[in-house]
Amino acid sequence: MSEVKIFSGSNSTELAKKISKNFGKNLGQVTLSRFSDGEMSTSFDESIRGCNVFIIQSTNPPTDNILELCLMIDAAKRASAYKVCAVIPYFGYARQDRKDRPRVSIAAKLIANMLTSAGADRIMTCDLHAGQIQGFFDIPLDHLNGSAIFVPYLQMLDLPDLIFASPDVGGVARARAYAKHFEVDMVVCDKHRKRANEIASMQVIGDVEGRDVVLVDDLVDTAGTLCKAAQIIMDKGAKSVRAIATHGVLSGKAYENIENSVLKELVITDTIPLRQKSSKIRVLGVADLFSKAIHAVTGNTSISSLFI
């Protein structure tokens, strides 16, 4: 069996340290430098010839993270690594997965092409914004599920009148999966947008009166949709409302929106580093989930046991 070596891009260093520690390895040494004009350069500071190399990097903005990841993949292939797996806890640009209006890019497919062309042999990620993005790759992709993190936490809360809610129609399948697992009902918040990050109207489909509502989403960006959904749900007579979302993008006025909202708490994971602390944001770790997946991949065993 080829030796396993784990490296990190500059955007996911803390998470990579936790994953490598859980796996039982020290994080590999790599130099990430820049020329004076901003051009990036990457080099591995140890031999990786014949090794199974795992490069951990979330690709949230800025775009440099994606290019840096591609450069590291290319460097690993040219250094004669046996296999290179790009571990992308948060896969950026996944919201642009189709042509929803004329003359736009399908950015998710472009990123998939870039990673494959750079030389990646495998992709490992968690909770893609759209599951069909897996089909954009012609190489194996391990799509981990955040439910392995959130289900134990929700079970610990033991909410007496639990009901799940989707903040939009597109997330119905995600919320339904949780509702089915806990054997409870679900409701849907139907929204209409004027443009990206701006909601024109929203209504709740279903009864939430006297219930402990958990909103389920894959990511939180400005938190506008989430906070508006929470307010409408409380106005409909809910006892409490909290939210779970795998990726805390949290851009713009997200922290302010969350602090001023009726949300009891927002539970996210550490796929993206938190920019600032908030009394309403709880962060759960994904290091154990990814380290187990790496063990399964390198040991040629099934990862299905990681799914709930």
Q: Which residues are catalytic?
A: 191
Whole-angstrom Cα distance, residue 170 to residue 257?
A: 22
Longest CA pairwise span in the chain (Å):
61
Structure tokens, 282: 């709880």
Helix axes 64-78, 107-118, angle to 10 degrees: 20
Q: Of 33, 32, 70, 28, nearest to 46 (Cα)?
A: 28
Distances (CA, A) of 172 to 12, 188, 191: 30, 7, 13
Alpha helices in the chain (DSSP H): 13-23, 64-78, 107-118, 147-157, 172-182, 224-235, 254-259, 287-298
DSSP 304: G
- Any residues with CB less than 8 A from the CB of 156 and at least 6 apart, and which? none
Question: Cα separation of 228 and 198, whole Å?
Answer: 11
- Side chain identity at residue 206, one-letter code: G
**Phi-psi map region of 80: left, alpha, beta (phi>0 left; psi -120 to 50 alpha):** left
